[in-house]
Amino acid sequence: EDQVTQSPEALRLQEGESSSLNCSYTVSGLRGLFWYRQDPGKGPEFLFTLYSAGEEKEKERLKATLTKKESFLHITAPKPEDSATYLCAVSGNTPLVFGKGTRLSVIA
Amino acid sequence: KAGVTQTPRYLIKTRGQQVTLSCSPISGHRSVSWYQQTPGQGLQFLFEYFSETQRNKGNFPGRFSGRQFSNSRSEMNVSTLELGDSALYLCASSLKGGGGSYNEQFFGPGTRLTVL
């Protein structure tokens, strides 16, 4: 059974304090790993897709990396507007399986 | 390009009633997936439709059903509502889908269903 575990559950950072979110997964035949951002009361917003170990993608202050067992979402010099829940999902031979997310709070 | 739209945005029902939610995918997208999101369970897959055919189904009772029309618009129906059905119901569309060949899914804003 495909599984995704995200850690930490919640993270509180000062503005400018860089950190990383972790997504550990087990999947039969990874077809893609996806990162989403979700603001309260809204649908998830697509951020990145990673397909193979070693791949990296960047967007503004965010950088996603992938190994054979986990993915990291690195946040460099975060701003208060980066506060949100970040979701990781994997696609194997079954539909997308989501982790429960990391709630990020960035304090000015 | 317009995003995924869902109607209604909010819904209040009582136990035993039924409800129909609607989703219009991004133009050109043929795959529509439905998810239930609750604080305790997170995002859970309900079903996926591709070219009017249900391609995958999650672990939900038969009270949850859906369909897709020829224009790719989709509806999901929940019959005999229970208190535990209170959740945010999200629809996502993608260009392709089915059979495990997934690419990026783009989500709508969701329908917040409250069952009293």
Note the pLDDT tens digit of each residue in A63-92: 999 999 999 999 999 999 999 999 999 988
Residue from A1, A37, A46, A51 whose CB has the most chain B CBs within 10 Å, to mutate: A46
pLDDT recorded at residue A84:
98
Nearest CA in chain A to B38: A100
Enumerate the residues of chain B whose CB falls inside 8 A of the CB of residue A84: none
Q: Is residue B98 predicted with pLDDT exceeding 80?
A: no
pLDDT of residue B102: 56
CB B7 within 8 A of CB B22: yes
Give residue B100's pLDDT band: very low, low, confident or very high (50, 70, 90): very low
CB contact under 8 A, A95 and B42: no
- Contact residues, chain B, for A92 at CB < 8 Å: 100
Check if B7 contacts A (Cβ < 8 Å): no
pLDDT, greater one: B101 or A6:
A6
pLDDT single digits (tens) B18-51:
999 999 999 999 999 999 999 888 999 999 999 8
What value does the mean pLDDT of chain B take? Answer: 92
Sequence-separated (6 or more) residues with CB below 8 Å from residue B61 = none
Q: Does B111 touch chain A (CB under 8 A)?
A: no
pLDDT score of A96: 86
Residues of chain A with pLDDT under 70: none
Q: B113, B95, B115: which is closest to B104 by C-alpha?
A: B95
